[in-house]
């Protein structure tokens, strides 16, 4: 594609981190070393840590700022071309549907190298992966001597009879590449600003409900949770016409 004149608007960096099992040492060191540049220029981090742990269930662990981009990428990616040209989004939608009539998308959580990017610097991050089955996170042989290519070919990601080996690996690669192209080439970053603000508001309301239930007399401690709620609502109204200001607000006030 580069020979045909393709040039992304933004730099794409591929990173490979060591020491993940020892408190994500490699990625944390990189973030500390490059903190100023990352804060100034990094717009998204896509994590890939054993992204195919199975072939049954797709897990979309995603920052709320990236939900729309992930959904759009899934709509563009076929499941297993050229035999199965159904969009991956349609397959994903058949697994579980949320109350928004969309696939279930969970919060980012921890457990991998996105931690320093997402939680130290506030960089929007996503960690898409396939899991063995509903309710399982890893195969029984994970991190054992039996966790080898033969097991992957036979159980974790069995070959398609028409398109060859590792169909889920190839699918997750297409999905991640589509996400990369979206963020590298879009004139305006495809961030879900309103989703993020709504998620923040919903989570804060749940937190307020929990706190007031556990501590009914919280007002006696001179703690006013309502002030923060009003603060969030004001910023949602003021910055809705200009989502870039809202993005700066979230990054500077909540994640750092």
Residue range 177-230, pLDDT digits in tens: 999 999 999 999 999 988 888 888 888 788 878 888 888 887 777 766 665 555
20 is catalytic: yes
The share of the chain scoring above pLDDT 90, in percent, equals: 46
**Residue pair 17/24 in contact by the 8 Å Cβ criterion:** yes
pLDDT at 212 (0 to 100): 80
Give the model's confidence band at 58: pLDDT under 50 very low, under 70 low, under 90 confident, else very high. Answer: very high
Domain boundaries, the chain: 2-185, 193-239
User: Poorest-confidence range of 31-35, 117-121, 161-165?
Assistant: 161-165
Q: Which of 20, 102, 129, 209 is the catalytic position? A: 20
Buried b vs exposed e over 69-103: b needs ≥16 C-beta within 10 Å?
A: bbbebbeebebbeeeeeeebbebbbeeeeeeeeeb
Q: Is CATH 3.40.50.170 the classification given to domain 2-185?
A: no
Mean pLDDT of the chain: 82
Identify any residues that bridge with 87 across adjacent strands, giving them in sequence order: 78
Asked if residues 134 and 57 have their Cβ atoms less than 8 Å apart, the reply is yes
């Amino acid at each position: 594609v580069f020979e045909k004149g393709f040039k992304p608007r933004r730099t794409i960096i591929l990173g490979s981190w060591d020491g993940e099992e020892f408190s994500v040492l490699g990625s944390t060191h990189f973030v500390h070393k490059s903190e100023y540049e990352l804060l100034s220029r990094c717009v998204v981090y896509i994590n890939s840590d054993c992204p195919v742990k199975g072939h049954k269930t797709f897990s979309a662990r995603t920052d709320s700022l990236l939900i729309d981009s992930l959904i759009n990428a899934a709509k563009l990616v076929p499941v297993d071309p050229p035999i199965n040209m159904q969009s991956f989004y349609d397959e994903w939608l058949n697994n579980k549907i949320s109350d928004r009539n969309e696939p279930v998308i969970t919060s980012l959580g921890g457990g991998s190298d996105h931690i320093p990017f997402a939680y130290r610097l506030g960089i929007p991050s996503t960690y898409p992966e396939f899991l063995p089955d509903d309710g399982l996170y890893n195969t029984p042989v994970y991190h054992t001597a039996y966790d080898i290519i033969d097991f992957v070919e036979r159980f974790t990601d069995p070959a398609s009879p028409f398109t060859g080996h590792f169909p889920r690996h190839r699918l997750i690669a297409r999905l991640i590449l589509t996400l990369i192209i979206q963020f590298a080439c879009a004139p305006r970053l495809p961030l879900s600003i309103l989703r993020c603000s709504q998620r923040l508001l919903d989570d804060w309301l749940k937190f307020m409900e929990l706190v007031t239930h556990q501590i009914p007399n919280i007002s006696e401690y001179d703690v006013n949770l309502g002030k923060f709620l009003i603060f969030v609502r004001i910023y949602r109204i003021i910055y809705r016409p200009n989502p870039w200001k809202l993005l700066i607000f979230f990054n500077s006030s909540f994640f750092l």
